[in-house]
Amino acid sequence: MKIGNSVRINKLVTKVCKLFGKNGSVYPGHVLYDFLKQEDVLDKVKYPKYVIAVTGSSGKGSTTDLINHILTDAGYDVCYNKSGSNGVLAAVTLILNNCDNKGNFLHDVLLLECDERHLKLIFKKNKPTHMIITNITRDQPSRNGYPDLVFQDIVDSLGNETKLLINADDPMVNSLKFTRKNEIVTYGIDKNDDSYTRFENIYPDFAYCPICNSKIKYNYYHYGHIGNYECPKCDFKRGNVDYEVKEINYDKHYIDVNGKDLYLNKDVIYAAYYTVAAYGLCREIGISEEVIITAINKDKRESKRGKELILDGRKLTMLESKNENNLSYYQSMKYITSRNGTKTVILGFDNVSRRYKFNDLSWLWDVNFEMLNDKDIDKIIVIGRFRYDVATRLEFAGIGNNKMVLVHDFHKLLDVIKDTKGDLYTMVCFDMTSNILNLVEEEENEKV
Amino acid sequence: MKKFKIAYLYYDLMNLYGENGNIRYLEKELKEQDLDVVIDYITIGDKIDTSYDFYYIGCGTLNNQLIVLKDITKYKKEFKDIIDSGKFVLVTGNAIELFGCEIFNEAKTYKGLEIFPYSVTISDVEVDYRTVGEQYYKTELVPHSIIGFVNKSSEIDSINNNTYGSVTDRNISPLFKVIDGFGYDYDNNKYDGVYYNNFYGTYLIGPLLVRNPYFTDYLIERICKKMGTKYKKNKRDGYEYLAYNEYLKNFYEKLNN
């Protein structure tokens, strides 16, 4: 099919979706790609000067948002997948909706957050000019198998013409520096107050050198397997990085990158990663330091780590925590334990995933729940269908029955909460989040 | 108190799916039996010897499995002694593959420990063709069903004393019978695992001892018997028992009745 026809069909189906009140960010691509078998449709698009892909296990969305903010502020006309739909069908829909009937892309920049597994489908022939790879971590093993396989999918998608901006603190990602001919620029975070040197309980991934298979030595960790490392047997190491966060100041909301202060809009380490990545990318496409810094620093809306609400007259912070992703739970627990004052934590789930029906519970033992052994935590409330499995794990983390409360009937949750003290934090996945939001709403309605 | 030595082998390579849970649960249960439990974490560069009472290996990535294979095959004789003398060995996930005769992957053939008469084929396209899902098994060892999860891209081709009879004369039995789920091979899907003396091998991944407390209790009783200590009956009222029962109720009520 000629590209013009694909563009017309895509636009038409998008209109129809809108007519029926659907958001239509994926369906038009589905029609072209799956029904009409136009799997090569993106190969025919005439791309603009800058095609930027952002991929990796976590941090893709925030990095893409910030790059869009800077580029737009710098006067570029940017098209990006704001909705967060990041698979090939969403890419087809977005790209064709922004082409003329000859397949010319109509903006200065195409900026795409890309699912790691879909990169090779999105960029089959036309490769991006720039690509950021944030990190590779354990995530949804029922879908992904294990992290190496996800990484291999990314590598398989690469052409030599793409300039790579990679997180050097992740040894798997950084191995590209040793295996690829691409032009490669790196970013990372220097040692800071939160860095640690010894592992407890759970052993990290990629403990062995991706080049020579010897055990690598860590000088320090930031979290998981992210940190500063070197191989004692070969040349593989983190090494010097091009864009380095030298200091993180959470209280004053800034990071120091190569001697410049950049505003940090969340007080968590991954915010430092997406800020330095966005800064580096924009520098690499030739935007001046001043313009980038002005753009970052002017966007002073403080973005909260989680949704903040009121329940039982107390502050409730909802931290979205992804099941089957130990680092997602780690970030939530790190945040909770860094807050002052007495607190109560709510966790648990009815289903491991909303994407598939599998309920693999192995990951509960990869999460360092030992962190919840904190004197400021009054009670830990365990909810959901798998509450006994979670309770088993928490017991091993040293959390006793004086601290743990199991809720067998979700409708009784509010009564249980009333018997606890301090600020409330939920550390739950999407489905449970909406159940708890309903609870907050019901409570509000009862007051009226 | 009698000493009970556990070797957690390749803890930093074969640890893909929360396997540490098995060791932690085992340690807790053995301590309740008044055994003085010592756990040694052993990996590449350390030496494996026959002095331990219990050996454990978990599941790893293909790359890590091959690193381990190269190392572990230095200890063929030791492992034959360990297994033939009836010491306890538990292997979960793809660790079971190390104990066969051959592993085929991408037109290459690797030699295994050559203890049991089977070969293994690992799919060349690991990510797209994986066997993933919840498993429901029976075993002759305990009346309680076995629950767990499989996530693999390989299979034991067949257990064949004719092919590998010259290498090994150990007659093994499957550890589990498949009621709902997958077996060790794609074609039959009837059985999972390997059972011989006190060797327990299964493709189930992750903390299966925690998830199957009745099975673990059986293991503990056997260990006590072997160690010559009196087995103290488990009250079976911990959270792990509630979790097991709840899981069967939620997912396998029909099959269980």
ipTM: 0.95
CATH number of the structural domain spanning residue B181: 3.40.50.880
User: Based on the domain organization, do A248 and A375 belong to the same domain?
Assistant: no
DSSP designation for A174: H
| pLDDT, position A222 | 94
Percent of residues in chain B assigned helix, strand, coil, to nearest 5: 30, 30, 40
For residue A203, is pLDDT > 60? yes
User: Of A360, A365, A388, which is closest to B20 when you measure between CB atoms?
Assistant: A365
Report pLDDT digits (tens) over A1-34: 899 999 999 999 999 999 998 888 999 999 999 9
Interface mutation target, options B239, B248, B252, chain A, most CBs of A under 10 Å: B239
Asked if residue A76 and residue A95 are part of one domain, the reply reads yes
Q: Output the pLDDT for position A200.
A: 61
Token match 């350390």: residue? B46
pLDDT averaged over every residue in chain B: 93
Are both A221 and A331 inside the same structural domain?
no
DSSP, residue by residue, B118-140: EEEEE-SSTTTS-EEEEEEEE-S
- Whether the pLDDT of residue B239 is over 70: the answer is yes
User: Within this chain, do residues A210 and A321 fall inside the same structural domain, yes or no?
Assistant: no
More confident residue, A45 or A303: A45
Whether residue A278 is found in the same domain as residue A332: no
Cβ pair B98, B68 in contact under 8 A: yes
The confidence score (pLDDT) of residue B169 equals: 79
Q: Residue A356 and residue A249: Cα distance in Å, rounded?
A: 40
Co-location of A273 and A319 in the same domain: no
Q: Which of B17, B127, B242 sits opposite A388 (nearest CB)?
A: B242
CB distance B17–A360 less than 8 Å? yes
Domain of residue A400: give its range: 307-447
What is the model's pLDDT at position A84?
A: 80
Number of domain units in chain B: 1
**What whole-number percentage of chain B has pLDDT above 70?**
98
- Report the gap between the CA of B25 and the closest CA in chain A (Å): 8
* pLDDT score, position A22: 85
Residue where a domain stops, chosen among A254, A276, A298: A298
A71's CB contacts (< 8 A; 6+ apart) are A78, A109, A111, A282, A287
Nearest-Cα distance to chain B for A389, in Å, is 5
A and B: number of Cβ contacts within 8 A:
109
Mean pLDDT for chain A overall: 93
Which helix (H) or strand (E) element contains residue A4?
Answer: helix A3-19
Q: What is the pLDDT of residue B257?
A: 54
B126 CB near a chain A CB, below 8 Å?
A: yes
> CA dist A99 to A2, A37, A90, A296, B93, Å?
13, 20, 15, 30, 49
Tokens of A67: 């790059």
Are residues A283 and A388 part of one domain?
no
Q: Is A163 exposed, middle or buried (0-12, 13-18, 19+ CB in 10 A)?
A: middle
CATH number of A347's domain:
3.90.190.20
User: Residues of chain B with pLDDT > 90: what percent?
Assistant: 85
Whether residues A269 and A324 fall in one domain = no
- Residue B162 above 80 pLDDT? no
Q: Which of A79-83, A226-230, A231-235, B139-143 has the lowest mean pLDDT?
A: A79-83
- Tell me the per-residue pLDDT of A271-316, one tens digit each, with 9 for 90 and over: 999 999 999 999 999 999 999 999 999 876 666 667 889 999 999 9
Contact A365 B13 (CB under 8 A): no
Residues A198 and A314 in one domain: no
> Quick check: A338 and A374 in contact, CB under 8 A?
no
The 3-state DSSP class for residue B191 equals: strand
pLDDT, residue B186, reads: 81
pLDDT score, position A143? 87
Q: Please indicate whether, in this complex, the C-beta atoms of B12 and A392 are within 8 angstroms of each other.
A: no
pLDDT in tens, B10-54: 999 999 999 999 999 999 999 999 999 999 999 999 999 999 999
Let me know whether A247 and A323 are in one domain. no
A203 CB neighbours in chain B (<8 A) are: 11-12, 15, 20
Give the pairing of strands A50-55 and A109-113.
parallel
**CATH number of A219's domain:** 3.40.1190.10
User: Would the CB atoms of B243 and A364 count as touching at under 8 Å?
Assistant: no
pLDDT band for B112, please (50, 70, 90 cuts): very high
| A429 vs B239: which has the higher pLDDT | B239
Choose among B13, B126, B243: nearest Cβ to A208.
B13
Verify whether the Cβ–Cβ distance B211 to A361 is below 8 Å: yes
pLDDT at A285: 96
Answer yes or no: do A290 and A179 share one domain. yes
Tell me the CB-side half-sphere exposure of residue B107, using CA atoms within 13 A: 0
| A149: nearest CB among B127, B242, B243 | B127
- Angstrom distance (rounded) from CA A195 to CA A218: 11
Whether B153 and chain A come into contact, CB under 8 Å, resolves to yes
Looking at the fold, whether A289 and A242 belong to one and the same domain comes out as: yes
Of the candidates A107, A106, A89, A8, which has an alpha carbon nearest to the alpha carbon of residue A42?
A89
Give pLDDT, residue B126: 63
CB B17 within 8 A of CB A362: yes
